[in-house]
Amino acid sequence: MRVDILVSNPWHFLRAALEDVGVQLSHVYRVTKYDPADRDDHGHYTGAEDITSDHGEVEAAYLQAVQAFAVDTSVDRLSVREPEVSSYVHFGLEPPLEGFGLGTLLPGGLAGFHDGAEVPLDTGLELVRLMLRDSGAWCRLEAEGAFAVHVGWDQYVYIGSSRPCHGALSRTRELGLFPERLRASPYDFEPDEDGVRRPGDDEFWVGLHKAVVGGRAGILEEIYVQNASRWHRLTSDTIDTVRAALAPRARLAVWPELSSDTSAVLDALPTEGLVEGVWQDTDGQIHSAIADEDEFPELAARITGAHAAALLSMYPDERVPLLSAVMPDRDGVVRARWQAEPSLSDTAQRLRHSNE
């Protein structure tokens, strides 16, 4: 299978790389309800505080502390960065809410939960509340170069500021919480070393159009938040419509066309492992589901009545798209910090360079 090799504008990469470096916040604190005096010699907490939210006074104290730091930093708006939702396995201590509790917080609910979305501080505090409750949605909340709040496991909150925030520190202690100085938040963003920085720019879409017309590509996976995808079946007539409807900063992965021979697709089901089934119903809607061997019968039942389908491995070394990219902002600059998956086009490019 031939795959067009895409070469992107290096100036976009340079600008994006410079923006990704950011400014290391000079004042970072771990804010918790856990008294440092109740830790053993290994730093493990031995006190009586529960690791879940009380949905009450302690939770409110966390939110007031975050607000105090934001006010001391003169921040009244926050950006959602690298949002994610719970996947087919939910590790939270509480069951996820319908729509992950985002329906009344953001315009468009989950559709508004995208990288770079700006929210007022009050909304940011409600997102912190959802994360404290392990409700299934998580993100970094940041004001570039000035402020950040990251919610970790077990009611650990990490707050960073470009200012000392003496008033916020005093207020946090008054609220019965314990701020501890750190060098950096353990939840600071770290790029995927195996990822690829490639913008979904005009050049990418021209190459995608050629791949679709040539019969080498047929479906587009739009990863609009971590652990959630929308699927689009591509034709030369629908590519522009699909492009216009993509979520801001979405990651894109291009796959071969779905097969109308659903029997052959089902025959390819492994005896065990983890796969993602993608199928198009007779009404034209595309669905996907991740299943292991215990769930293969249910997945097979869905695919049996489908118009077309495909199976994709969930193992990284086997799950390699034809093409991949990250959607740039309207000015053409990629400001998303996450990266695209390595694709077959990258493999082809490496082989070409190795033979030169």
DSSP one-letter code for 86: -
3-state secondary structure of 226: strand
Mean pLDDT of successive 10-residue stretches along the chain, which has 356 residues: 31 40 81 96 93 96 98 98 78 70 89 95 97 94 97 97 98 98 96 86 96 96 93 95 96 96 95 94 92 94 94 91 96 94 74 51
Tell me what pLDDT residue 139 has: 97
What are the φ/ψ torsions at residue 89 (nearest 5 degrees)? -115, 125
Tell me what pLDDT residue 2 has: 27
Contact assessment for residue 102 and residue 160, using Cβ atoms and an 8 Å cutoff: no
Contact assessment for residue 70 and residue 121, using Cβ atoms and an 8 Å cutoff: yes
Tell me what pLDDT residue 317 has: 86
102: amino acid identity, one letter: L
Distance (Å, rounded) from C-alpha 223 to C-alpha 248? 10
Distance (Å, rounded) from C-alpha 62 to C-alpha 115? 24
Instruction: Please tell me the number of Cα atoms within 13 Å of 339 on its side-chain side.
Output: 17
- Per DSSP, the residues of 275-312 read EEEEEE-TTS-EEEEEEEGGGHHHHHHHHHT-SEEEEE
Closest Cα partner for 253 from 283, 221, 275, 279? 221
- Per DSSP, the residues of 157-209 read EEEEESS--HHHHHHHHHTT-EEEEESS-TTS----TT-B--B--HHHHHHHH
